[in-house]
Amino acid sequence: MEMPPYLVPHSSEPIQILYSDADLLLVRKPDLLLSVPGRHPLNRDCLITRLQADYPSARTVHRLDLDTSGIMIIALTAQSQSVLGRLFQERRVCKEYEAVVYGQVTADSGEIALPIARDWENRPRQKICRETGRHALTHYQVTERRDDRSRLLLEPITGRSHQLRIHTASLGHPILGCDMYAHPQALAMAPRLLLHASRIAFPHPVTEEWMDISCPSPF
């Protein structure tokens, strides 16, 4: 029996423009808004199609998960898209995320270096796999501890799908509100995924001026 299509939740929260010039936009994506259109016609609403109403040449360079809020770079020319894509490939784009995770993380800082592979039997989930996984590296720093949770500053050095979710979960500290990798208690502790892209820094694709933009977490 064919399963009915998954229809994503609809976010009415507006997209915030953090910076704009002739070559690019830096925007804040709300949670529960796709970065690009989904395959089903009812999942066409997304960040890029909304932006193209006012910026017809807008094109994506990278993505954030549906449940993740925060900063995204949007190219406005083919040249900018090409250069920005190369910067991401060369890992010259610095990204920081804020997350609230389950329990108290003991170490003040550290790194998680665990390879990630697709979990084909449980798509779209990923899994840690030392045999077939691709190299994945995340740096973390604890910025706050409470009785049942910790706030982390996360810096993904690589950009694997679900990297931050699965890496924090592998430590025994899943991100609160995560419906893929959190246990039921951690899932129930937040009304949304508590993961936010809070800062991005990179050389401008045309002027090469160093861009460094922050966006406060809503949680």
CATH of residue 87's domain is 3.30.2350.10
pLDDT at 1: 53
pLDDT at 43: 81
Which of 21, 45, 65, 212 is the catalytic position?
Answer: 65
pLDDT at 53: 97
pLDDT at 46: 95
Among 92, 112, 135, which residue terminates a domain? 92
- Identify whether residues 54 and 143 lie together within a single domain: no
Total structural domains within the chain:
2
Task: Compute mean pLDDT per 10 residues along the chain, 219 residues long, and list them.
Answer: 66 95 98 90 89 98 96 98 97 98 98 96 92 97 97 97 97 97 98 98 98 97
Please choose, from the candidates 154, 151, 150, the residue with its C-alpha nearest in 3D space to the C-alpha of residue 167.
Answer: 154
Among 61, 92, 123, which residue terminates a domain? 92
| pTM (global) more than 0.75 | yes
Q: For residues 44 and 132, what is the distance between their CA atoms, to the nearest angstrom?
A: 33
pLDDT at 40: 78
Q: Does residue 106 sit within a domain?
A: yes
Integer distance in angstroms from the first to the last C-alpha of the chain? 41
- Identify whether residues 190 and 172 lie together within a single domain: yes
Q: Does residue 213 sit within a domain?
A: no
pLDDT at 3: 55
Catalytic annotation present for 147: no
Provide the domain limits for residue 84.
Answer: 16-92
pLDDT at 6: 72
Q: For residues 171 and 152, what is the distance between their CA atoms, to the nearest angstrom?
A: 13
- Identify whether residues 128 and 148 lie together within a single domain: yes
pLDDT at 33: 95
Q: Does residue 205 sit within a domain?
A: no
